[in-house]
Chain A
Amino acid sequence: MLNKLPPVVVHLLAALGCLVLLVLLTFATDPFTNLRIATVGYYLIAVAGLALLTGFNGQVSLGHGAFMFIGAYTVALLVKRVPAFPIWADLLLATAAGGVAGLLAGAAAARLRGPYLAGATLALAVGLPAVTQRFPDLLAGSNGLSFTVNSQPAGLRSIPSTQWQAWIVWLAVLLALVVLANLARGKLGRTLRAVRDDEVAASLAGVHVGRTKILAFLVSSACGGLAGGLQAFLLGTAAPGSFTVALSLSLLAALVLGGLGSLWGALWGAIALVYFQVWTDDIAEMLSLRNDISDNLPLALYGVVLIVIVLAFPAGIQGGLRKLWVRVRRPVPSQRGEAS
Chain B
Amino acid sequence: MTTFFNLTLAGLSSGAVYAALGLSLVIIYRATRVVNFAQPALALISSYVAYSVTKDTGSYWLGFAAAIVVGTVLGVAVERLLVRPLRDAGELSAIIATLGLLLVLQAVSGMIWSNEPHAFSYAFDFRGRFSAADLFAVLAVVVTASGVLLLFKFTSLGLRMRAAAFNPEVARLLGVRVGVMLTLGWGLAAAVGSLAGMLAIPPFISPTTLDEVFVFALTAAVLGGLDNPLGTIVGGLALGIGLSYVSGLLGPELVPLAALAILVAVLAVRPAGLFGRATARRV
Residues of A within 8 A of B (CB): 54, 58, 60, 62, 108-109, 111-112, 114-116, 118-120, 122-124, 126-128, 130-131, 133-134, 198-201, 244-246, 249-250, 252-253, 256, 292-293, 295-297, 299-300, 302-307, 309-311, 314
Q: How far, in angstroms, from A252 to B106 measured CA to CA in the complex? A: 17
Complex Cα distance, B103 from A311, in Å, reads 16
Query: For the complex, is B95 an interface residue (Cβ under 8 Å from A)?
Result: yes
Assembly CA distance A249 to B89 (angstroms): 20
B192-236 CB mask vs A (1 if < 8 Å, else 0) is 000000000000000110011001001100100010000000000
Which of B245-273 touch A at CB < 8 Å? Answer: 251, 253-257, 259-260, 263-264, 267-268, 271
B256 partner residues in chain A, CB cutoff 8 A: 123, 126-127, 130
Shortest CB-to-CB span from B112 to chain A, Å, is: 8
Please indicate the chain B residues that have their CB under 8 angstroms from the CB of A311 in the complex.
82, 85-86, 97
Give Cα distance in the complex from A92 to B253, angstroms: 29
Interchain CB contact under 8 A, A123 and B115: no
Q: What are 15 A-B contacts defined by CB distance under 8 Å?
A: A114-B95, A116-B267, A119-B222, A122-B215, A123-B218, A123-B256, A126-B212, A127-B256, A134-B251, A245-B211, A249-B102, A292-B110, A303-B102, A303-B105, A306-B100
20 A-B pairs besides A252-B99, A296-B111 with CB distance below 8 A are A58-B92, A114-B95, A115-B35, A115-B226, A116-B267, A118-B37, A120-B260, A120-B267, A122-B215, A126-B212, A252-B96, A253-B103, A256-B96, A293-B111, A297-B107, A300-B107, A303-B104, A303-B106, A307-B97, A307-B100
Chain A residues near B82 (CB-CB < 8 A)? 307, 311
Contact for A310 among B89, B253, B263, CB less than 8 A: B89
**Could you tell me if B264 and A60 are in contact, using CB atoms closer than 8 angstroms?**
no
Cβ of B253 and Cβ of A133 under 8 Å apart?
yes
Pair B103/A299 contact, Cβ less than 8 Å: yes
- Interface residues, chain B, with chain A CB atoms under 8 Å away: 29, 35, 37, 82, 85-86, 89, 91-93, 95-97, 99-108, 110-115, 207-208, 211-212, 215, 218-219, 222, 226, 251, 253-257, 259-260, 263-264, 267-268, 271, 283
The minimal Cβ–Cβ distance linking B177 to chain A, given in whole angstroms, is 24
A312 to B103, CA, bound (A): 18
Minimum distance in angstroms from B27 CB to a CB of chain A: 15
Contact A306 B103 (CB under 8 A): yes
CB within 8 Å for A302 and B271 given contacts A134-B254, A200-B283: no
Closest chain-B Cβ to A55's Cβ sits at a distance in Å of 10
* B96: A residues at CB distance < 8 A: 252, 256, 306, 309-310
A60 touches B92 (CB 8 A): yes
- Taking CB atoms, residues of chain A closer than 8 Å to B208 are 244-245
CB-based contact B263/A60 at 8 Å: no
Cβ distance B258 to chain A, nearest Cβ, rounded Å: 8
Known: A111-B267, A116-B267, A311-B85. A124 touches B260 (CB 8 A): yes
Docked Cα-Cα span, A283 to B93, in Å, equals 30
Given contacts A127-B257, A198-B283, A253-B100, contact A310 B215 (CB under 8 A): no
**B163 CB to closest chain A CB, in angstroms?**
23
Which chain A residues border B207 with CB–CB below 8 Å? 296
Chain A residues whose CB sits within 8 angstroms of the CB of B102 once the complex forms = 249, 303
Q: Are B99 and A130 in contact (CB under 8 A)?
A: no
Alpha-carbon separation in the docked complex, A253 to B132 (Å) = 43
Our pick among A115, A200, A299, A306 for the contact of B91 (Cβ within 8 Å) is A115
In the complex, what residue of chain A is closest to B82 when comparing beta carbons? A307
Q: Are A246 and B103 in touch, CB under 8 angstroms? A: yes
Q: Write the chain A residue with the least CB distance to B108.
A: A300
CA distance A119 to B221 in the complex (A): 10
Which has the most chain A C-beta neighbours within 10 Å: B111, B212, B283?
Answer: B111
In Å, the complex CA distance between A54 and B267 comes to: 21
CA distance in complex: A299, B115 (Å) = 13
Q: B251 contacts A292, CB within 8 Å?
A: no
Interface centre among B85, B96, B101, B212 (most CB of A within 10 A): B96
Q: Separation in Å of the A210 CB from the closest CB of chain B? A: 12
Q: How far is the CA of A252 from the CA of B96 in the complex (A)?
A: 8
CB within 8 A of A119: which of B35, B106, B113, B254?
A: B35
Q: Which residues of A contact B100 (CB under 8 A)?
A: 253, 302-307, 310
Task: Report B-chain residues with C-beta under 8 Å of the C-beta of A297.
Answer: 107, 111
When chains A and B are docked, how far (Å) is the Cα of A297 from the Cα of B108? Answer: 8
Tell me which residues across on chain B come within 8 A of A245, comparing CB atoms. 208, 211
Contact partners of B222 in chain A: CB under 8 A: 116, 119
Bound-complex Cα distance A249 to B260 (A): 18
Q: In the complex, how many angstroms separate the beta carbon of A202 from the nearest chain B beta carbon?
A: 11
Residue of B nearest to A111 (CB): B271
Q: Is the CB of B89 within 8 A of A296?
A: no
Residues of chain B within 8 A of A134, CB atoms compared: 251, 253-254
The smallest C-beta distance from A112 to any residue of chain B, in angstroms, reads 6
CA distance A75 to B207 in the complex (A): 31
Residues of B within 8 A of A310 (CB): 86, 89, 93, 96-97, 100
